[in-house]
Chain A
């Protein structure tokens, strides 16, 4: 009996090793359990999440016009695109794009382009919503911070931004109304 006990100690460590490991493991779990409520309190609170949808009436927006609405504290660009805008966006070859995406994949209805108006470079709001704005070299949007040019489908064409303007989740509630979020 004594021999086997000595043997098992030699092979697997002492009771003290076992106690140290289990105590440390419990301490780690305990610290994690205490830390989690603090970390989670930094996540969006329930009242913040309750504000996470925005409904927009599209009826007053004429072709060629654009509006900016707020969704989750960020601007959302909604452009009622003209036939020329759509044709220009669809004429581009995917091989010319830095972040290849077809125009079809970026819209639910071709005339309505809905995008988060935040440059994917470092978070500035690009110009291009107002008629007097600089729309960049591709007649879409132009970010004045570091010179990113977006086309009429909101895709990055030139400049430091790594990807196309992001499309938020949205649904058409009716022909003239969308819900973002």
Chain B
């Protein structure tokens, strides 16, 4: 073999020729074929792969929508209606894109919950978690700007309200807002830049997802027990075990997605966005898309303009510090009887905020939002730091294989103990 070529084990001569020069097939085999994965994943571990699929669906449908969309205040609304009525299968591509955004947030919220429940943010996966938070922030920006593009009433007034958040900054606030708008109100320059950024950001997300996955493949996956695999007896190769498990999840995911698209495509949207934008008339009740409602409720829970904005952004930025706020050494909530209840209450607070965000800003919703907001932050700032010291965790299993197989792990199971233990001794 010539010097400088990768030593490839690929049999097919053409693939081998490529692999010797650019070992992508070796890499795929290593990272998605034989990659050792904890043997005890449950279906919560589908949602990373589902999010990846969802991102690809959004990019594919988005690229085709952009071929028919006109980013101009005078034509945007009509061009979207033209997509719905005249473009072949335009209705399908747009409804998939629209509901794909909702599916993306459903999938990612479950993915985040998985991380919170099983302690996937803890050492050594802090950076992996933080990259995930970056992806979530990019998703929020992308979704917000995408919602502006059809230039309906909700697009226009949503854009007006959200960009006005930045006016809360002392001294430079108004200048920032003028800069965001490219004028003195949300108008054509705003629409043009939002379209450009809405097209750009998904590819930035792809880049950060690559880093997220790369970091995952350094530390390896967490698992429902939250204990590290101790040897080959605790892991199985990614393929075929988890490719097939992910496929099951994808089928269910696509069924839910298809049900939304074909039977209730506008259920999660707001009917006012089918009214063309009118800068002279604000709809009686403006709400963001459902996936922003919890944060919107936090914004409205605070009776101070700057305070509301700070808490709203803070409610997500605090996730960056979670790996250090949670002082417990035990990852999985299965073994944390108190923290587990605290987390489930936090999830309830999240849904309460989501509900209050959809209601008008009046009592009792404001008070309920304030209580839920207080608990939202208390979970991160008080409960988790304190529980690490106060809580007595349940005893952890000695290994994944022991927990999964019980006594069989010691002999007579699919992996005889001697065979399973041998490679460990070598390592």
Contact = CB atoms under 8 A, between A and B. Distances in A.
A47 B89 contact: no
Contact of A38 (B68, B82, B86, B93): B93
B86 A41 contact: no
Contacts of A48: 86
B85 interface: yes
Contact of B86 (A37, A40, A42, A45): A45
A43 B90 CA distance: 11
B82 A41 contact: no
A15 interface: no
A16 interface: no
Most chain B CB neighbours (cut-off 10 Å) among A36, A43, A45: A45
B67 A37 contact: no
Most chain A CB neighbours (cut-off 10 Å) among B85, B88, B90: B88
Contact of A45 (B60, B87, B92, B93): B87
A41 B85 contact: no
A46 B68 contact: no
A41 B87 contact: yes
Most chain B CB neighbours (cut-off 10 Å) among A36, A41, A48: A41
A38 B64 contact: yes
A41 B68 contact: yes
A46 B64 contact: no
Interface string A22-52: 0000000000000011101111011110000
Nearest to B90: A41
Interface string A140-152: 0000000000000
Contacts of A45: 68, 82, 86-88, 90
Nearest to B88: A40
A47 B90 CA distance: 13
Contacts of B86: 45-48
A133 to B, nearest CB: 36
B409 to A, nearest CB: 29
Contacts of A42: 64, 67
Nearest to A48: B86
Interface string B78-117: 0000100111111011000000000000000000000000
Contacts of A47: 82, 86
Contacts of A38: 60, 64, 89, 93
A42 B82 CA distance: 14
A42 to B, nearest CB: 7
A41 B92 CA distance: 10
Interface in B40-94: 60, 64, 67-68, 82, 85-90, 92-93
A21 to B, nearest CB: 17
A36 B92 CA distance: 11
Contacts of B64: 38, 41-42
A37 B82 contact: no
Nearest to B60: A38
Contact of A37 (B68, B85, B89): B89
Contacts of B93: 37-38, 41
Contacts of A46: 85-88
Nearest to A43: B88
Nearest to B92: A37
Contacts of A36: 89
Interface in A40-75: 40-43, 45-48
B382 to A, nearest CB: 49
Most chain A CB neighbours (cut-off 10 Å) among B60, B67, B87: B87
Nearest to A50: B86
Contacts of B92: 37
A18 B93 CA distance: 34
Contacts of B87: 41, 45-46
27 contacts: A36-B89, A37-B88, A37-B89, A37-B92, A38-B89, A38-B93, A40-B89, A41-B64, A41-B67, A41-B68, A41-B87, A41-B88, A41-B89, A41-B90, A41-B93, A42-B67, A43-B88, A45-B68, A45-B82, A45-B87, A45-B90, A46-B86, A46-B87, A46-B88, A47-B82, A47-B86, A48-B86
Interface of A: 36-38, 40-43, 45-48
Given A38-B60, A38-B89, A46-B85, 20 more contacts: A36-B89, A37-B89, A37-B92, A38-B93, A40-B89, A41-B64, A41-B87, A41-B88, A41-B89, A41-B93, A42-B67, A43-B88, A45-B68, A45-B86, A45-B87, A45-B88, A45-B90, A46-B86, A46-B87, A46-B88
